[in-house]
Amino acid sequence: MKTDMGQAAFNARSELFSSRQRRAFIVVDGNRTVAEILAMMAPMGLQPVDLDTMVGHGFLEAVSANPDLESPSVKTKAPPKMTEKERYLMAKPIATQLTASLGIMGFRLNLAVEAASGTEDLLALLPKIQAAAGMQKSEELERLLKG
C-alpha cells in the first residue's frame, strides 16, 4: 500500500524513484499482490528489488503477509490487466520523454503529447512518435498503449 510519504515523494518527483519504480507506484493500490504487480510490470523491467527499495524508503508498506504468494498457481496466472487510466498514467511520461529527447525537431510532437488527455490520444500519436524517435525506442510505449 502507498504511504503518505511515498505519495508526497511521487508528487514531488523525488530522485529516489527510478522511472520503473514510478510506473510501479502508479499501479500499487493495496488490492493487488506483489506477484500480480511484478507480473503486470515485468514487461517494463520491474524487479523485486525495485519494490524492496520503495519499501526501504518508506514509500510502500505491506498490507498483509500472504504465504500463497510464492505458490506455482500465482506464478502461472496471467498478469492482471491495467485500467485505461493506469495505462495512460504510465505511457504519458514515456511519450513525453521520447518526444522531448528529439529537441527542436520534436517540439510540436512534444506539445501534442502534452495535450493528450487519454490513451486514445497517445495511441493516435504513436505512429508519429515511432517515426521520429525510432521503433526500438518506442517499443515500451507501444506495449503500454496496445496492452
Domain final position from 48, 76, 104:
76
CA distance 35 to 128: 35
**Strand-pair partners of 38:** none
Owning domain of residue 99: 84-146
The predicted structure's pLDDT at residue 75: 38
Domain final position from 24, 59, 76:
76
Same domain, 56 and 97: no
Same domain, 92 and 33: no
Dihedral sign for Cα 36, 38, 39, 41, please. positive
The predicted structure's pLDDT at residue 68: 46
- The three cell numbers of residue 84 are 485505461
The predicted structure's pLDDT at residue 127: 95
Same domain, 56 and 90: no
Same domain, 93 and 32: no
The structure's pTM equals 0.53
Helix (H) or strand (E) holding 83: none
- Count of structural domains within the chain: 2
pLDDT per residue as tens, the chain (147 positions): 888 888 888 888 888 888 888 888 888 887 888 888 888 887 778 888 888 888 888 888 876 554 444 433 333 344 457 788 888 888 888 898 889 888 888 899 999 999 999 999 999 999 999 999 999 999 988 888 887
Same domain, 68 and 97: no
Same domain, 65 and 125: no
The predicted structure's pLDDT at residue 7: 86
Same domain, 72 and 127: no
Same domain, 92 and 117: yes
The predicted structure's pLDDT at residue 45: 82
Same domain, 54 and 93: no
Q: In the block, which residue shows the cell 499482490?
A: 33
The predicted structure's pLDDT at residue 131: 93
The predicted structure's pLDDT at residue 2: 85
Same domain, 69 and 37: yes
Domain final position from 41, 76, 111:
76
Exposed/middle/buried for 144, CB within 10 Å: 0-12, 13-18, 19+? Answer: buried
DSSP category for residue 77: S
The predicted structure's pLDDT at residue 80: 58
The predicted structure's pLDDT at residue 67: 43
3-state helix, strand, coil in the chain (%, to 5): 65, 0, 30
Same domain, 20 and 39: yes
Same domain, 67 and 126: no
